[in-house]
Amino acid sequence: MKKTICLSLLLLINISGFAQEIVNSIPLELKKSSTVFQITNPEKKTVTLFVRDSLKIKAINLNEKMQIADSISAKRPNLKTYTNIIGYNKSNGNTRLFWSSTNYEAIFAQLFNTNSRETITKEYKLVLKNEKVIQKFSQDENFYILTVLKNSDIFKLYIFDSEGNYTEKIITTEGFHFFTSDYKKSDLYTAFSESLLPFEAPFSLQKITVENQTSLIDAAKKRKCYFNNKQLVITLDTNIDFTQLILIDLQSFTATEKMIKKQYLVGDRKFLNSNSFYFDNKLYQLKSSSGIIYFTIKDLEDNILKEYFANSTKPIAFKNSEFHEQGGSLRAKRTLASSPLFILKSNNLFLGLSCYQTGLNTFITFGGVSELKQSADQTTINQFGLTEDIVFSTSMEDFDSSSNRRVVKTEGLFDTAGNRIKGKLVPLASDKISTFFDKNNTISAQTLFKLDAYYLGYYDNKTKEYIIRKFED
């Protein structure tokens, strides 16, 4: 009996250790000016770590065991001209980075060829006088820059291929139904120029990668996009009464529109709140007032597949966890006592929901977040000094309970038909990462990415090593 208990305990310890195991530690001395980011190859389960400082950039290729396969270094392009790394693409198994000037009109491509041990460069000049860049995308062999033309209903797409060539594509949305948040008819350009500060700046478009667990901070944005190699889906939730979807075909370069209505609620529009999340070719919508909340799942023809609601007399029945509030001025996470309190608090924040596939089921986070209580300089920089938006899509703020942002949330688990699955939630990798950050708040140069599991990379200043730790759902 004692042997059985001991074996069981050893098994549990091994499972727990494997769930958060250190898979490699790389000897690496970082300068104070250094930043680290990564580019993954999900098919081969490999990753390239890029270490950048003020003089050079080094590419470190890691195999599927997170061991160093090879590396190559190169000089940074002109610091005065090229300030940011904005994306990448692949060319015969090698990685090409794209740097840009502040206005995106000067582009510098840097191909790291590990076979020939050389770096091949190329410069481009874009004319963006009457355009605004709203997002960038990297997908295998192509890198895309998406712009909107001034005072028009036109997108423009700049496509950089594996050979280093680029083409321009015009995508029109003429005849689409664009409105501002106060129901004034507008065009495409005006839809993106509308200021949603303090939470969203004009001409911002939040990129969502549904394969990863999306931060509620990112999901609460009103303008979001979802990208794969065949289609770009843009959702606009600036209007309280509907979600507008723009579906862009990346082969024919044509756009179609879907208008998905939100649940009607009585009351002053100024005190209503709503948002959506596009997932598995369905639209998940949330709409609330100070005393009622609706959660609706619809297809893209505006048909209701499943709907839930709660108010002061009907508790929220679509959750599997407690209501939690954390961050901001709160020193520790606290539990909210009731559905009405959760509805009231989340409605007073920036409302959002996010979906994540776990097995055959869908894990959904519901809630609201506040604006970031930080200086103007800090809000323009990723919390851990990472390079632009080619890194992991989940905001690291979600893993930091001392974040200068207040978050109110709860979670639920649903089957493919939208029915809630009863029972307690199994801890996900994100929960384990949050616990790790709570206990290790002095680490630096973090990277976070997903392959067969989630991998967290960070620099240990004492040992002068870059450590990669594995977390599993």
Could you tell me what percent of the chain has a pLDDT over 70? 89
pLDDT over 90 (residue 379): no
**CB neighbour list of residue 314: distance below 8 Å, 6 or more residues apart:** 339
pLDDT digits (tens, 9 = 90+) for 403-435: 688 999 999 999 999 999 999 998 898 888 888
pLDDT over 90 (residue 438): no
Given pLDDT bands bounded at 50, 70 and 90, which one contains residue 3?
Answer: very low
pLDDT in the model for residue 58: 94
For residues 285 and 44, the model is more confident at 285
pLDDT over 80 (residue 9): no
Given pLDDT bands bounded at 50, 70 and 90, which one contains residue 397?
Answer: low
Q: How far apart (Å, rounded) are the C-alpha atoms in residues 410 and 321?
A: 6
45 phi and psi, to 5 degrees? 60, 40
* pTM (2 d.p.): 0.90
pLDDT in the model for residue 385: 32
Rounded to an integer, the average pLDDT of 253-270 is: 95
Which range, 265-269, 276-280, 370-374, is most confident? 276-280
For residues 395 and 284, the model is more confident at 284
Q: How far apart (Å, rounded) are the C-alpha atoms in residues 257 and 157?
A: 18
pLDDT digits (tens, 9 = 90+) for 116-175: 899 999 999 999 989 999 999 998 799 999 999 999 999 999 999 999 999 999 999 999
State the amino acid at position 387 in one-letter form. T
pLDDT over 70 (residue 401): no
pLDDT in the model for residue 374: 56
Rounded to an integer, the average pLDDT of 63-77 is: 94
Q: How many CB atoms lie within 10 A of CB 154?
A: 19
With vertex at residue 92, the alpha carbon angle to CA 91 and CA 93, rounded to the nearest 5 degrees, is 90
pLDDT in the model for residue 18: 41
Of 309, 298, 339, the residue nearest 321 (C-alpha): 339
pLDDT over 60 (residue 377): no
Tell me the helices (H) and strands (E) count for the chain, helix number first: 6, 32
pLDDT digits (tens, 9 = 90+) for 179-238: 988 888 999 999 999 999 999 999 999 999 999 899 999 999 999 999 987 999 999 999
Of 138, 171, 136, 135, the residue nearest 155 (C-alpha): 171
C-alpha distances in Å from residue 335, one per residue of 76, 276, 327, 408, 434: 48, 25, 13, 10, 17
Rounded to an integer, the average pLDDT of 429-448 is: 85
List strand residue ranges (DSSP E) for 101-209, in order: 106-113, 118-125, 131-139, 142-149, 154-160, 166-172, 178-179, 185-186, 206-208
pLDDT in the model for residue 391: 45
pLDDT over 80 (residue 95): yes
pLDDT over 60 (residue 286): yes
Task: Provide the CA 187 distance to its chain's centre, in angstroms.
Answer: 27
pLDDT in the model for residue 132: 97
pLDDT in the model for residue 373: 76
C-alpha distances in Å from residue 469, one per residue of 77, 394, 429, 455, 461: 32, 17, 11, 6, 16
**CB neighbour list of residue 250: distance below 8 Å, 6 or more residues apart:** 229, 230, 231, 232
pLDDT in the model for residue 37: 92
Q: What is the mean pLDDT of the chain?
A: 88
Which range, 5-14, 74-83, 386-395, is most confident? 74-83
Q: Which helix (H) or strand (E) holds 16?
A: helix 2-19
pLDDT over 50 (residue 14): no
